[in-house]
Amino acid sequence: MPDRFSFAQCPHRWAYWVDEPVVVDGNLISARRSPDLPAYGRALA
């Protein structure tokens, strides 16, 4: 479980909000927004 969990950010309570440029969870790789694309590309490599 991530260090930070926010029910306000996750109304369905089944999601974890993590304030990081890129998050890798198993086969899922996610980025916050377009300025994070370089970090996202590094995570894909």
pLDDT number for residue 8: 58
pLDDT number for residue 11: 61
Within 8 A by CB and 6+ apart from 17, the residues are: 2, 4, 5, 6, 9, 10
pLDDT number for residue 1: 47
According to DSSP, residue 9 is labeled: T
pLDDT in tens, 1-38: 455 555 555 566 666 678 889 988 888 888 888 899 99
pLDDT number for residue 25: 85
Report the SS3 class of residue 22: strand
Q: Where are the domains of the chain?
A: 1-45
Separation of CA 34 from chain center: 13
Across residues 35-43, what is the average pLDDT?
A: 93
Confidence of residue 41 (pLDDT cuts 50, 70, 90): very high
